[in-house]
Structure 1
Amino acid sequence: MVFARKAHLVRLHRALPGPKRSWHSALVANLGRDFARLWCAYAISTAGSTVGAGALGLVAVLVLDAPAWQVSLITAISAAASAVLAFPLGPRVEFARKRPAMIAGDLVRCAALASVPLAAALHVLTMPQLYAVDIVVATAAVVFSAASGAHLKALVGPHERAVALSRFESTDWICWSAGPPLGGVLISGLGATATMLIDAFSFLLSALGIRRLRTPEPPPVVAKGPSRRGFTDGWRYLLRSPELRPLFFNSVLFSGAVLWVTPLQTVLMLRDLGFAPWEYGLVLGVPCLGGLLGARLAPTLSSRYDAQKVLLWTSFARAPWLLALPFAIPGAGGVALLIAANFGLLLVAGIFNPTYSAYRLSLIDDTVLTRTLTAWSTGTRTAKPIFVTLGGIAAGVLSVRFSLGIGAVLCLLSAAALPARRAA
């Protein structure tokens, strides 16, 4: 992986006299190798997580025979509890080195996930343990995400972040295309807890990969006085920023709208439209290629156009696709419509996501970066079960198609959160 920063350091290295050359040569080499190591660690943990996607719910149903309301509580409880638990951890991570926090987050998730198949093998698994595991995993994920964002900002220069984040985004789409189907095969052959072992092992490998990074980590920011205990500093910074605030609400509304329609789309395809399993698989899998293509296009667009303009255009361009969902019909026409709608949505989202992540890092001051990212993550995670629940209630009271239409309108509203004047 060759970044502009690396080229700049090479030029600087050549201009220096003899004794300093070896130090700069090592630094240049470390930057390239360390990003490759970081990317590899991310790919491994993402692959494990996608293979194990939904594993806790499957274990609850297949192993413990839990009723639907208990399965639903797994997501709701973990979202609320992790938001509360992660809140005071933000300042601790802010004023500490980020790699140890990332490694700890991976190891905690590894241990928590591995405890489920162990308890199942010993016949002592209970629903409270599943709730506790999901809370621990969600809290560690918030901490890891905040620490990794600050770490990436320090490791990768501002002009290379869009490229780096597009690599991560591409990895996401590849893993989500292949991971869940592979997980289904493994569960069918090896049992409900098999994918949790794979997920746990992936976090262990990720921790080892981060441990191998060689580029010196810059010292953490130093806080003075009460700001060191400022649990709410991240929220205040986020909500008072005229650039970050609309971006945050755009993110919450868009992800909420997608989560609103996702389970309903499954019900529509399998129950109302009578799709065969292979047709259902096509609708889920093929559009991921759009996300992969968008992630590949993101760095080019970000370098050619202003990041704010790219965010504005893509925010509006991804908004109308969900409007097609309520009009799907049985047969090949419905399959084609849903593939096209989801492909278009994910194509534009694939461009938006790395651009937004890089732009967000550039806006946040380093002294509150981890706390702001923690606030951002807890806010979006808390909103997710709310949207899923409201979508289900609307479908029950009205109809699946009508609820899909409401979700599509919410997606349109997300675009309005980014005012056009900011692109000027």
Structure 2
Amino acid sequence: MRLIRNRNFLIMWIGQLATIFGNRFSEIAIPLIVLQFTGSPWQAALVVVCSQITPLILALPVGSWVETRSKKNIAMMAEIVSFLTMSLLVVFVWLELLNMWVLAAGLLVMGATGLFYRVSFGAMVPMVVGRKNLVHAHSYFEGADAISTFLGPVMAGVVLSTLGVAAVLSVDAMTYFISFLGIAFLSVKESRKREETKTKTTYLSSFQDISYLFANGYQRFISFNQCILSFCTTAVTLTVIVYTSQTLSLSEWQTGLVLSSAGAGNMIGVFLLHRVKDFSWKNLYAVLMLVSGVGLFLILLTGYLPLIMLGMFIFDGALSMAFVVNGSARQSITPDHFLARIGGGAILISGIVAISGNLFSGGVSEVLMPQAILAFCGFLLLVASLVSLLFKQGNKRIQELVPMELEDSLTK
């Protein structure tokens, strides 16, 4: 509990809780809104993808740009713009002018501001907590994700079905404002090491930074698992929304209840992580991916709501633990002066994979059936489990990892 008593970390945690809660709120609400308007899973996927396009285009140059600037100021600006954009969407709802084009445009802006926030926030974490506390810090952040995933979806379903679209978007807008206030009160001493050797960064030259994500065996292993985690998370989330609302004809609050089960598994996962964090890296990954895949196959075997909830509980509980391990490992082996660049590159990879996951989910759901996506993602997780077991450098614990100079790795 020592870390949560750190004033700066507590402020960061509350801000992260607010942001993630808003994301979980809109994560279910926006696809359901589009499905209400069009009845098309493919169009729902296209609208959701709009929030991922700008991170895909800007991730690398933003990482380089943020690296030598005030992370706190950038994060604050990003959250206030997100608040204003979401508030404007609420106004469009009140004026009865909200349509697919307006919603897509708003998500494009939100994708850009979310990118600036994630890169700057991620770079501040080691400065606030120190490298030795990264696993604990990411566990607390995953706990915030767990609380948000547990409460957000079912609340979004209830609010959407009872109060309407404007109320859902208003809640999301307020979470960004709360996050802005939290960052404003944050005290962090920022490192400007790279300012001394700062060179002009162009859009094309920034793509060279993606090579750092594959500079050594550890970075390659982390990048591979990040792709699996991001694809399965986005594809399964949209697929479950389509599967429960259209195939099983469940109500909005029942769909929210299924996704909230993922949050319950997330909370249990955070609790269990403290008990298994001393396991070897590859064995921990292998078990987590295997268990997560079992959860998906359980969903496939039944149309019974409690069992679907149990499957989501198992799937997301194990996957959330894997996300913590992945994020902690990435920051543990990355030098301070590369954190923003690595963060930008990681977001680029996640963006590509997330867009692929959403489009795959929407397309296959419309042409075939959502169950096919769940089976495919379950197979991917089993493959990832096998790859983890074969990772020769994975015998260390996360706490034993140290920064590795990326430039040296690339020249070897």
TM-score interval w.r.t. the shorter chain? 0.7 to 0.9
How far does residue 61 in structure 1 lie from its aligned partner after superposition?
6.3
Q: Which residue of 2 aligns with 1:12?
A: none
1:183 aligns with 2:156: yes
Secondary structure class of the residue paired with 1:423: coil
Q: Which residue of 2 aligns with 1:204?
A: 177
Per-residue Cα deviation, 1:114-152 (whole angstroms, up to 9, x for no partner) = 111123334554543322210111111122111111100
1:422 pairs with 384, 393, 398, which one? Answer: 393
Which amino acid in 2 is paired with 1:114?
S
Q: Partners of 1:266 and 1:124 in 2: how far apart?
A: 25
Per-residue Cα deviation, 1:230-272 (whole angstroms, up to 9, x for no partner) = 4124311012332112222222123313433444444544555
Per-residue Cα deviation, 1:80-121 (whole angstroms, up to 9, x for no partner) = 233113432221101112111111111111111111112333
Secondary structure class of the residue paired with 1:305: coil
Q: Which residue of 2 aligns with 1:169?
A: 142
Name the larger-Rg structure. 1
Q: Which residue of 1 aligns with 2:8?
A: 34
Which amino acid in 2 is paired with 1:286?
S
Equivalence map 1:271-290=2 (5 Å): 283-290=258-265
The answer (yes or no) to whether the contact 2:154–2:255 under 8 Å persists in 1 is: no
Secondary structure class of the residue paired with 2:217: coil
Q: Which residue of 2 aligns with 1:380?
A: 350
Cα 1:233–1:300 change in 2 (3 A) is farther
Q: Which moved more, 1:273-282 or 1:350-359?
A: 273-282
Q: Which residue of 2 aligns with 1:243?
A: 218
Cα 1:36–1:319 change in 2 (3 A) is same
Q: Partners of 1:223 and 1:264 in 2: how far apart?
A: 48
Cα 1:287–1:85 change in 2 (3 A) is closer
Equivalence map 1:82-97=2 (5 Å): 82-97=55-70
Q: Which residue of 1 aligns with 2:284?
A: 310
Q: Partners of 1:273 and 1:55 in 2: how far apart?
A: 18
The answer (yes or no) to whether the contact 2:161–2:252 under 8 Å persists in 1 is: no
The answer (yes or no) to whether the contact 2:234–2:358 under 8 Å persists in 1 is: yes
The answer (yes or no) to whether the contact 1:59–1:192 under 8 Å persists in 2 is: yes
TM-score, with length taken from structure 1: 0.81
Q: Which residue of 2 aligns with 1:24?
A: none
Show structure 1 runs of 5+ residues with no match: 7-30
The answer (yes or no) to whether the contact 2:47–2:103 under 8 Å persists in 1 is: yes
- Count of matched residue pairs: 391
Cα 1:198–1:400 change in 2 (3 A) is closer
CA RMSD of aligned residues (A): 3.0
How far does residue 407 in structure 1 lie from its aligned partner after superposition?
2.5
How far does residue 295 in structure 1 lie from its aligned partner after superposition?
0.7
Q: Which residue of 1 aligns with 2:102?
A: 129
Equivalence map 1:44-83=2 (5 Å): 44-57=18-31, 65=37, 68=40, 70-83=43-56
Q: Which residue of 2 aligns with 1:153?
A: 126
Equivalence map 1:225-304=2 (5 Å): 226=199, 228-229=201-202, 230-269=205-244, 283-302=258-277, 304=278
Per-residue Cα deviation, 1:350-407 (whole angstroms, up to 9, x for no partner) = 3222222111101122222112111211221222232233244445555444443223
Cα 1:78–1:124 change in 2 (3 A) is same
Q: Partners of 1:242 and 1:61 in 2: how far apart?
A: 43
Cα 1:117–1:258 change in 2 (3 A) is closer
1:2 aligns with 2:2: yes
Secondary structure class of the residue paired with 1:143: helix
Secondary structure class of the residue paired with 1:114: helix
1:117 pairs with 61, 70, 90, which one? Answer: 90
TM-score, with length taken from structure 2: 0.83
Show structure 2 runs of 5+ residues with no match: 396-412
The answer (yes or no) to whether the contact 2:225–2:384 under 8 Å persists in 1 is: yes
